[in-house]
Amino acid sequence: MESSIEQDEGVLNQGWKNAQRLRNNLKSGVRDVDKNTYSNLPVKKLLRRSPLFSRRKNTSLVNRIIWLLLIWSVVVYILGVAGLWWSSNKVIEDNFSQQATDWVAKLDELGTPLYAANDEFLFQSIEEQVHRFPEVSYLRYYEAEKNLVIAQYTSEKLGDAKVPKLTSVMIEELRSNIDSSQPVFIQTADDSLSLFQVAAPIVTRSIRSDSMMDFDLDEDTEEIYKIIGYLELGLDFSEYQDKLKKNIFIGSVAVAILFLIAAFMGRILVKRSLRPLTKMKKPLEQLARGEIDVHVDGEGDEEIVAIANALNTTIKALKSRDEELRKMANYDSLTGLLNKHNFNIQLKQEVLRTINENDSSALLFIDLDQFKHVNDNLGHAAGDRLLKQVADLLKNRIRSEDVIARFGGDEFTVIAKSIKEPDARMIAEAILKAMQKFVFVEGGQAFNIYCSIGVALIGDDDFTAEEIFSQADISCFHAKSEGRNRYHMFDLPEQEELRKSADISWSKRISDAIENDYFTLFYQPIVSLHGDKCEHYEVLLRMVMEDDEIIHPNAFLPAAERLGVAIDIDYWVVRNALRKLSEFKADGRDVYLSVNLSGRIFEAKDLIERVQRYISQYNVDTDHIIFEITEQTAVRHIEKARKVISKLAALGCQFALDDFGVGFSSFNYLKRLPVDVLKIDGEFITDMVNDPVDQAMVQAMIQIAKTLNKKTTAEYVQDAATLEMLKRFGADYAQGYYLGKPKRDITRKNYDDALNRVDTNILPF
């Protein structure tokens, strides 16, 4: 009670600075901030629209990173503001009780004289002092015995609000806690106000002693507390609370602005950092469209440079792969020359060029004379080496603008551009002389390899590419028939005379063969690749001359076609094949025969009747008969072929499409032809092991057949590696010299030998 009013002012000033909010108001204030201050921020909407959480597949990496930074900034901002409110609340809660006690202690000291002096002017000085502090809403002093208010102060801002006085229960609680270290209680005065009621007893202290002379400083003395009154104080810090909210709001807005500025600057920095990555978008889109003639620029960070380098390496590999594929599709894998497919394209283009430019060129068809001898005696590897050496020799004998190709097997073709007949003869003679000087050495043996050349001019007459090639082929045949190791220039009048003479000669021979059975049938095994043990053979026609010479059908069938007797030959083959099938059946052999028909068969009006008659005559099972016709013939007579095949199928016979793949580009006709078997043309099989393009074509044809529920037979199987590859590809049947050559009489043992070749385990290649 010795302190002055001036000293107390400093204590009161420290009190309102530290006691900024009341306990429950702080709690409700934080809740208000959580619910109201930030409830209008579209955070959920922001998240839904942000590319970071978007379900759209096509998003920008730059935007994704920027949105990620923005969302993270918002999260940090919200957490920071919430943390500020929480920490403020915690500080005020921890200091409120202590500050309230300090207020009570000071007002106790100031108000104690009131009970001794009962001086009204003394309380006025207290009012003047308290009036300076807006947080004090009211002040009451109570008399201890009757609990009556002896002095009180009410702030103007309290208005007409009435705060209930201390009840007897409150006073009793204060009385009972007189001995506690903090005999003060705090409670909410009114729910409608930010007002707290603070109460404490006003006491005097004295020491009880029996005698003043017996006083001992070391002796514990008992203090006596006497309640002379009660103090009640109303504290309202809502004004400071509003200031705190305002300051935090202003600070939050400032922080938000700083975040926005940082986000904007971050967006610029991120876009600038990722600009090299963004530049990759266009070349990558081109790459996705299949355009590989692109380059990806790499700059900036080392990761982006590494990505660009990896992409450029990938593009380089793709270019290399495409170049290799183009090379495989257009070039012979063994010699490096153009292949048959690409050469045909080049020939057609050259024919058009000579017509458009009124120019002339020459086509040379070159066939090696001793290749078969080398291949059979020294093996395929030696034959391959021979072909490579011949290819190099031919490349050195032609001009850079000329075109050279390996047409197939030991056949080569050359297009000599912009030359006349004399120049074509000179080129042919130069090649002949070079081949005559050429010696092939293998295994200590030396071989002279000669060739026969057929020459046809391009551009002199209105011939198609196919016709010109046929002229060169015929001329090469003439060169061989004239003794080999020479060339022959195609001459149209000469060819017409030769053909007429040949037709007249063949007419009599064919008629005699039909009437006197000078024809004979050979049988070549067709072996199942998947465990079918039944015997399958293709029936092959041959002519027997007076000296027992066997004539291949290629020698007489073209003449038969021109003479109109091809149908008669077809009937002879069908009749004798069914007769042979009957003999096999009588011997107890379960044999299936494939019988070839010519294109003329579709002109026969009594084909079905004759087949029915032969079936009845020889009593054969119709499902053991497979009729074959070439793909080109079937396509050329598509409607007639469909009707004939359907009628033969109605009899129970099967049908195979021979030379399948020649018209591969229009294979959709298969939907219209009810055939049972597709025989893959030997052109795709012969060099399949070494030619990836042929492998792809064969696999595609087998897959087409499986899709259409048809069987496949591969022709011209020459070795074990080809057979094993066909097995892996899923072909159903195979035939060729490796499995068995055509023979007049073939036994079950011959067929079992062919089956054993299929069943033999072959090392993978």
Residue 673 tokens read as: 């032809």
For residue 402, the model assigns a pLDDT of: 93
Q: Give the tens place of pLDDT for each residue, 301-334.
A: 666 777 778 877 877 777 777 766 666 667 888 8
> Percentage helix, strand, coil, to 5, in the chain?
55, 20, 25
- In this prediction, residue 612 carries a pLDDT of 93
Q: What is the pLDDT of residue 388?
A: 93
pLDDT score for 34: 41
Indicate the burial class of 246 (C-beta count within 10 angstroms; 0-12, 13-18, 19 or more).
exposed
Give pLDDT < 50 ranges for the chain: 1-57, 665, 761-765
Choice among 236, 369, 410, 687 that is catalytic: 410
The yes-or-no answer on residue 94 being catalytic is no
Q: Looking at domain 334-490, which CATH architecture does it have?
A: 2-Layer Sandwich (3.30)
In the chain, the percentage of residues whose pLDDT exceeds 90 is 26
Question: What local confidence, expressed as pLDDT, does residue 191 receive?
Answer: 55
pLDDT of residue 477: 85
Distance CA 555, CA 549 (A): 13
Overall pTM surpassing 0.75 (yes/no): no
Token pair in block for residue 517: 């059975």
Looking at residue 665, its pLDDT comes to 47
Residue 596's beta-bridge partner residues? 628
Residues 477, 483: Cα–Cα separation, whole Å: 10
Q: What's the CA gap between 386 and 409, in Å, rounded? A: 11
Per-residue pLDDT, 721: 92
Would you tell me the crossing angle of helices 61-117 and 5-18 to the nearest 10 degrees? 150
The full set of domain ranges for the chain reads 5-207+221-241, 289-330, 334-490
Angle at 147 between CA 142 and CA 150, to 5 degrees: 35
Quick one: pLDDT at residue 91?
64
Predicted pLDDT of residue 596: 92
